[in-house]
A and B are shown apart, each in its own frame.
Chain A
């Protein structure tokens, strides 16, 4: 079974600064997807960024980028130029890419990000 670990329960960053959220995972599969989701107080999970394991290039979405280290099974999220609206719970998630498997996501325990002025 796959596991996802987020070792930082809480992080804080000043507005306009950069912060990195850590995530490690364990799997025996070679083909999979990794995601970062944001859950603001409204509770709706929003996809921030996704990475396909077969792609060596790190995914980037505007101010959000990842550092994907497949051998180390590490998948960190970097938020640049942090904004007040970035304050939320961030979840790292894994999904198998094997044909015939379901769309089940395995989530980490989350990191609560605070953004201060």
Chain B
């Protein structure tokens, strides 16, 4: 069974640009969550999607958005990039919605903003 797949693995952008990151969950999983990992702030929850609906959102500005497609694949978008958006973005999937079930993480997308 394939794991959680995130693309691209690495990318470099400049300030003001926008970026889209993709996450393909484990087959059959309908819940996808996104986390941002930085040396300064650690791991922070961005948002969770289940059945194409955003279930919860972390404390991030509106520049951070996401969506989920009918096949459960998810994308997150960051507009008007800032230097502080440089981070490892981790996606995690699980079968159930809500607070049950084990989360399976992908290897992340490393974003560098210059």
User: B21 at interface (Cβ–Cβ under 8 A)?
Assistant: no
| 0 or 1 for each of A90-117: is its CB under 8 Å from B? (1 = yes) | 0100011111111111111110000000
**CA–CA, A77 to B99, complex, Å?**
22
Q: Which of B33-86 contact A (CB under 8 A)?
A: 33, 35, 42-45, 48, 55-56, 58
Cβ of A105 and Cβ of B103 under 8 Å apart?
A: yes
List of B residues within 8 angstroms of A37 by Cβ? 105
In the bound complex, residues from chain A placing their C-beta under 8 Å from that of B98 are 99-103
User: Do B99 and A102 have beta carbons less than 8 Å apart?
Assistant: yes
Q: What separation, in Å, do the CA atoms of A46 and B90 have in the docked complex? A: 12
Main secondary structure of the interface of B (DSSP, over half): strand
Give the distance in Å from the alpha carbon of A106 to the alpha carbon of B44 in the complex: 7
Give the distance to chain A from B36, nearest Cβ to Cβ, in Å.
11
Total of A-B residue pairs, C-beta within 8 Å: 64
Given contact pairs A102-B48, A110-B42, A45 touches B105 in the complex (Cβ within 8 A): yes
Q: Which residue of A lies closest to B42 (CB)?
A: A109
A interface bracket (residues with beta carbon within 8 Å of B): 20 to 34
Interface centre among A98, A99, A107 (most CB of B within 10 A): A107
Q: Which residues of B contact A (CB under 8 A)?
A: 31, 33, 35, 42-45, 48, 55-56, 58, 88, 90, 92, 94, 97-108, 110
20 contacts between A and B (CB under 8 A): A33-B99, A42-B107, A43-B110, A44-B105, A44-B107, A45-B90, A47-B104, A50-B102, A97-B99, A98-B99, A102-B56, A102-B99, A103-B94, A103-B97, A103-B103, A104-B58, A105-B43, A105-B45, A107-B42, A107-B43
